Structure 1
Amino acid sequence: MNASHGLAAELLNRDYRADASATPASDTLLINEQSRLRESKGERIVKFGFGQSPFPVYGPAVEALAEHAASKAYLPVQGLPALRERVAAFHRELDGTEWEAERVLIGPGSKLLLFALIKALPAAEILIPAPAWVSYAPQARLAGQSAVKLAASFDTRWQITPAQLDAHCRQGGKRTRLLILNAPGNPTGLSPDPALQAELAEVARRHGVVVLADEIYGPLDHDGSHRAFARDYPEGTVTTSGLSKWCGAGGWRLGVMHVPRALGDELLARLLGIASETWSSVASPVQEAACVAYRMTPALNAYLERQREWLAVVGHWCAARLDAAGVHTHRPDGGFYLFPDFEAFRDRLAERGITTSAELTARLLADTGVALLPGSAFGCDPSQLTARLAYVDFDGAELLVHQPQRFEAPMSLPALERVREGIQAMVDWLP
């Protein structure tokens, strides 16, 4: 081995071990890889760990992607103007919000747009409800910002309260703060009720808190009644969404962000600066296809409605089955997640040597082949016996051609066999 090469590796490894700010791999991506590995060894795994849409990508968008496969030009950093117009019109119609095309930024997935926003801010507190999506806190640390956890509970439907936000802002004095709100939520599948959201908006307004509304699951609200946070706090809410969930196109990596004019031009300029020095522009064929995906048509409305119907059927069935078995579980409002609480089984689980959420999910996977993610991955206390369940291990293409109302027992369809097996395995495993 070349001596200088060996020394470089030695110094790197030494400094890695001393670097407390190192960021581990995302738990959600890790569980997906672990599930694939076990499947490759012939094990039967029920994949409730990774939150990927089970439905096929919207057909007209796929056709547009193929049509523009040869498109190779670098597009504007902010995004294709025609796409920004479509995105703004889509959200104005779907959410009743005042999106402006001039204030829309297109990025390679909403995940990177979230990071860009956190990085674009001056020194700030990033307020993160717990449980929350796994990447918010690591992104805050990567951006050099201060991440502050605001813990929620089962009794508040895993929502932070206006009093909680008000108390934190009063104690900390005046400073720049960004509150991240994800609704319908990952990992809970829940949204605040309209009254609670209005109160949160008023507290944020009173204290000058900027809100990042991560509404990637908004179009999958089960009854189509998602209320965008920007409707209650338009002047202070930056909203993100994208194609990964409602359009089934996670791997296409296209996210969208709207920055309200009231927050000024400096923030948007900083975001464009970050974009220009990092991702440059989103792939041309994907942006062309997104122009079709974001066009509101009867076909798109039918596609969205069928997804909502099936996700409601599956999610509510899973929640009811777990709750009846003693695992406290709220019925989801949207998306495809549940956040079951195993607290009622604490003593009996402890007899099996299970006292943390990580131990709980590890034993479930080993004993039953059901893959979940521990509540600790989402910012909860490790001793809290919670887990995230993504009820997506089914054939979405098969279900899209059926209306659940046409079946006396829609959960009995063959396409949903893995979901039924997974929930039953969990119930049978309980002590």
Structure 2
Amino acid sequence: MTRASDSSRPTDASLSGPHYSVADRLDSGYGRADEATRSSDTLLINEQSRLLEAGGRRIFKFGFGQSPFPVFAPAVESLAKHAAEKAYLPVQGLPALRDQVAKFHSDIDHTRWDAERIIVGPGSKLLLFALMKSLPEADILIPAPSWVSYAPQARMAGQRAVRLDASFETRWQVTPEQLEAHCTADPERLKVLILNAPGNPTGLSPEEDTQKRLAQVAHRHGVLVLADEIYGLLHHRGEHRAFALDYPEGTVTTSGLSKWCGAGGWRLGVMHVPAELGAELFARVLGVASETWSSVTSPIQYAAMTAYTRTPGLGAYVQRQRNVLSDIGQWCAARLNKARIRTHAPDGGFYLFPDFEVHREALAARGITTSAELTARLLEEAGVALLPGSAFGCDPSRLTVRLAYVDFDGAKLMNGEQAALEQSATTTLIQGIDAIVEWLNQEA
């Protein structure tokens, strides 16, 4: 492998044989790389939307799932107060913060969070990866659909990612029967079930009976459950059921400030590893942390202590978000269902997972047979940014998309009790949903 244009190669006659540059070897190696190291689809759609807007296009931004609400004001004030903090903090996290997180989640979730078994990380995303990297060889059982990073993280951690296909009829939830079948087929290998509730990309949570039966199966087969509950506080009715409530000894739980506190860019996540899982796993996760991120930014940790302190003001702040998101989510689902785009009304968070299957024949006549083609055409022709179901592990031919209904001014909606859809802050969002319906009704 040579490059004729490279004039800086050694010419010493003693150097015989082919010469390879670093770029040559990188090119060769990347040819064998899998999708585990590609950029996240959610981050890519955000950048793509920005570029199109910079070029003068009007884009309805339903692709990137970032909280539209301002960060809890007292936490911002605390961040400013502690801006001069510069010391490295303990790898595990500031002890006073871990105490506060333990009390907060023990009260909110009615489960035990032990401060000594909590790890503070730079967002729950890296904590999830650190856990997978710390495990012995395992099957990481991932619902399809589910968040885009679970499967790539599993592969990057050297684990085997296994998809468990869900359907509209099961409300996009993994069933206890599916978990039982997989565990029975290969009883010797460690199984790790990832559950995200309320879910990204669906906005849905398991029904209580389903969750209890999943917990029973997990207990019977020694399955480790990784409960990603980053949207837990944004359950629209305040009825989030922590998985650890049903399976405390085998559930690792993650959460953080990015969703309910509107602080995605602060990058602070928390993980609780129950004592029943032993010392080795916990030590390994801390080992990964110590060799990678060292500690979370000091001012952020001090500010997080304020965010994790329950007060009437914090309660009102979270409840207003729930009310706004519920109003908007219910309206969006109803509007799409009226257009025969099957959509479950959300339980929490700010996502919908519409299914265009009823329109398959009409869409095929327009040259659209995959979810990626569907979202590409919607962006090009209607200016609506969505993500294809295939990005979340669904069969590419299944005509599903993820819709993040966050294209509104959250700061304006935080004040007062007026219904969200009656305010100008949601005009763009309403127009975006209407744009999907109008595009769908166009003739081929």
Q: Same fold (TM over 0.5)?
A: yes
State the distance in 1 between where 2:35 and 2:210 align.
35
1:428 aligns with 2:438: yes
Determine helix, strand or coil for the equivalent of 1:240.
strand
The structure 2 residue matched to 1:263, chosen from 262, 277, 299, is: 277
Amino acid at match of 2:147: W
Task: Give, in angstroms, the shift of residue 174 of structure 1.
Answer: 2.3
CA contact (8 A) 1:315 1:331 kept: yes
My pick for the range that moved more, 63-72 or 337-346, is 63-72
How far apart, in 2, do the equivalents of 1:174 and 1:9 lie?
43
What SS is found at the alignment partner of 2:237?
Answer: coil
CA distance in structure 1 between the aligned counterparts of 2:9 and 2:122, rounded to whole angstroms:
40
Distance 1:156 1:276, change over 3 A: same
Write the distance in 2 (CA, Å) between the matches of 1:214 and 1:166: 21
Match of 2:429? 419
Q: 1:203 aligns with which of 217, 220, 232?
A: 217
Counterpart of 1:314 (choices 317, 325, 328) is: 328
- Map 1:139-218 to 2 at 5 A: 139-218=153-232
Check if 1:3 corresponds to 2:14. no
* Aligned residue identity for 2:293: W
Note the C-alpha offset of 1:115: 0.2
Q: Shift of residue 3 of structure 1?
A: 3.5
Q: Would the aligned equivalents of 2:36 and 2:153 in 1 still touch at CA under 8 Å? A: no
Letter of the 1:305 partner, please give it.
Answer: Q
- Equivalence for 2:3: none
1:80 aligns to 2:94 (yes or no): yes
CA distance in 2, matches of 1:230, 1:22: 29
Alignment deviations for residues 395-414 of structure 1 (CA, whole Å, 9 cap, x no partner): 0000000214xx4xx41310
Contact 1:174 1:207 in 2 (8 A): no
Amino acid at match of 1:203: V
Q: Is the 8 A contact 1:90 1:295 kept in 2?
A: yes
Tell me how far apart the structure 1 counterparts of residues 357 and 223 of structure 2 sit (CA, whole Å): 34
**Which residue identity does 1:423 align to in structure 2?**
I
Q: Does the CA contact (< 8 Å) of 2:187 and 2:221 recur in 1?
A: no
* Residue in 1 that maps onto 2:54: 40
1:242 equivalent among 256, 264, 287: 256
Superposed CA offset, 1:6-40 (max 9, x none): 81112211221133465210000000000000111
Moved over 4 A (4+): none
The CA deviation at 1:175 is 1.9
Q: Are 2:297 and 1:283 aligned?
A: yes
Shift of 1:325: 0.7
Give the counterpart letter for 1:230 in structure 2: A
Are 1:108 and 2:118 matched, yes or no?
no
Q: Tell me how far apart the structure 2 counterparts of residues 21 and 403 of structure 1 sit (CA, whole Å).
A: 46
Could you list the per-position Cα deviations for residues 159-190 of structure 1 after superposition, in whole angstroms to 9, with x for gaps in the alignment?
A: 01101110110011222111000000000000
Larger CA Rg, structure 1 vs 2: 2
2:146, 2:392 within 8 Å by CA — same for their partners in 1?
A: yes
Separation in 1, partners of 2:310, 2:325: 21
* Residue matched to 1:69: 83
Q: Report the 3-state secondary structure (helix = DSSP H, G, I; strand = E; otherwise coil) of the residue aligned with 1:256.
A: strand
Check conservation: 1:373, 1:388, Cα contact below 8 A.
Answer: yes
For residue 347 of structure 1, the aligned residue among 356, 361, 365 is 361
What is the rounded CA distance, in whole Å, between the counterparts of 2:142 and 2:80 in structure 1? 39
| Percent pairwise identity | 68
1:127–1:85 distance in 2 versus 1, CA, 3 Å: same
Instruction: Tell me what 1:389 maps to.
Output: 403
- The whole-number CA distance in structure 1 between the counterparts of 2:342 and 2:36 is 35
Instruction: State the alpha-carbon separation in 1 of the partners of residues 255 and 36 from structure 2.
Output: 28
1:361 is displaced (CA, Å) by 0.3
Letter in 2 for 1:3: R
Report the 3-state secondary structure (helix = DSSP H, G, I; strand = E; otherwise coil) of the residue aligned with 1:126.
strand
Tell me the distance in 2 between the aligned counterparts of 1:209 and 1:294. Answer: 30
Query: Please, which runs of 5 or more residues in structure 2 have no aligned partner?
Result: 1-5, 11-18
The code of the aligned residue for 1:13 comes to D
Deviation at 1:231?
0.1
Across the aligned residues of Structure 1 and Structure 2, the Cα RMSD in angstroms comes to 1.2
Give the partner amino acid of 1:31: I
CA deviations over 1:190-224 (Å, ceiling 9, x no partner): 00011110000000000000000000000000000
Query: What's the TM-score once normalised by structure 1's chain length?
Result: 0.98
Partners in 2 of 1:240 and 1:18 — Cα distance? Answer: 33
Checking the alignment, whether the CA contact within 8 Å between 2:144 and 2:164 is kept in structure 1 is yes
